[in-house]
Structure 1
């Protein structure tokens, strides 16, 4: 059931679109190519086990963890707004 100006299925379309965006973003961040032997950022050696487990890896574990923490701050774009923001 649609409400207001929205069409039937509009909410599901928003959900699907948000998921598609998240999948595309995740796929674009997957490493590609040959793994480096030393970290791009700090020049620390990248262990062979890590290079074999993740083909195309360019960062050591410490730098990757820092990079992941920065990326976590970017949660994408919420088309509908969160419940918390609507309750305030």
Structure 2
């Protein structure tokens, strides 16, 4: 009975490792951040702009990553 559970755990661990590697391999934006979102023109919070190279507010960035536009 434990065999299928161990296989499921191993698969979950493998998928998690792949997801982490893919996230770390993504290029990080660089350069100055915009003050206002390029999609909705709402102000980008200072804490987010401090990351560098930020061009969208968090909601618009989430939509952009999902392939959607506001």
Residue aligning to 2:38: 40
Runs of 4 or more, structure 1, over 6 Å off, are none
Which ranges in structure 1 are unaligned for 5 or more consecutive residues? 1-18, 72-88
SS at match of 2:38: coil
What does residue 59 of structure 1 align with? 56
Q: Which residue of 2 aligns with 1:68?
A: 65
Name the TM-score, length of structure 1 as normaliser.
0.46
Choose 1 or 2 for highest CA Rg.
1
Match of 2:5 in 1: none
Unaligned 5+ residue runs, structure 2?
Answer: 1-20
